[in-house]
Amino acid sequence: MKKATACLVAICGLYAASGWAVEGKEVAYEVNGQPYQGYYISPGKDAPLVLLMHDWDGLTDYEVKRAQMLADKGYAVFAADLFGAGVRPTEVEDRRQHTGELYKDREKMRALMRGALAAAKNLGGNTNDAVAMGYCFGGAAVLELARSGADMKGFVTFHGGLATPEGQDYSQTKGDILVFHGAADTAIPMTDLVALSESLEKAGVDNELIVYSGAPHAFTVFGSDRYREEADRKSWARFLTYLAEK
């Protein structure tokens, strides 16, 4: 496999940050010669880094808001772009196409995440003190990163895909794993959570798997009819304590 290369080629524009203590920047970078557009925010030098993976609609205002929330707590955040600059699908068919392509090409998915981490480092991100986290599709990507052996302190998924592809396992995982899952999630069944637990235990990976009663898929997405305030509040609070522990 061709080794992923990532270089910061520009920092352009400013997301509106009114009401936030820290301002973030839209970041153009490349992975294997292809353009991507992420978002970076940091409260200061050497702040612990969170690498954030987006949902199946690409990097949107939702991830930017979560990044700003983390920055206000003292964390630097690089929100990765796994689809490509300007690719922000709005139709279900398009979302399935873009995620499906990466599910079929796991090496590319891994290369994109390594490229995002390299871009974060180029911006001054503290990649020696870093945790990866993601939502839905991004959660599945984070587990892929964990299985790849990425040298990070932890991997966190919010209502993400939990299935392990055939031929993969967690034997190379270096950090621990934290999973937030909704008991009413019909897209990702509890059997996947049980299978993940068994895989992690077999590999000796420290893990914490938390289930919220009545929470459907995407229970943290503000404004959605699937949003569940209590599950969102509890999972976010635990995530912040987890980051402090790391």
Q: Tens digits of per-residue pLDDT, 32-62?
A: 999 999 999 999 989 999 999 999 999 999 9
Of 51, 44, 59, 69, which Cα lies nearest the Cα of 152? Answer: 51
Residue bearing tokens 């557009």: 37
A 10 A CB-CB count for 107 gives: 13
Q: Cite the beta strand spans of the chain per DSSP E.
A: 6-14, 24-31, 34-41, 48-53, 76-79, 126-135, 154-158, 176-182, 207-212
List pLDDT tens digits, range 131-184.
999 999 999 999 999 999 999 999 999 999 999 999 999 999 999 999 999 999
SS3 211: strand
Which amino acid does the sequence have at 202? K
Going by their DSSP bridges, the two strands 24-31 and 48-53 should be labelled as: unpaired
Q: pLDDT tens digits for 212-223?
A: 999 999 999 999
Looking at domain 6-245, its CATH class is: alpha beta
Total residues belonging to the chain: 246
**pLDDT class of 22 with cuts at 50, 70, 90:** confident
- CB-based contacts of 28: which residues, under 8 Å, 6+ apart? 8, 9, 10, 11, 12, 35, 36, 37, 85
C-beta of residue 37 within 8 angstroms of C-beta of residue 49 = no
Tokens of 122: 């180029």
Predicted pLDDT of residue 235: 98
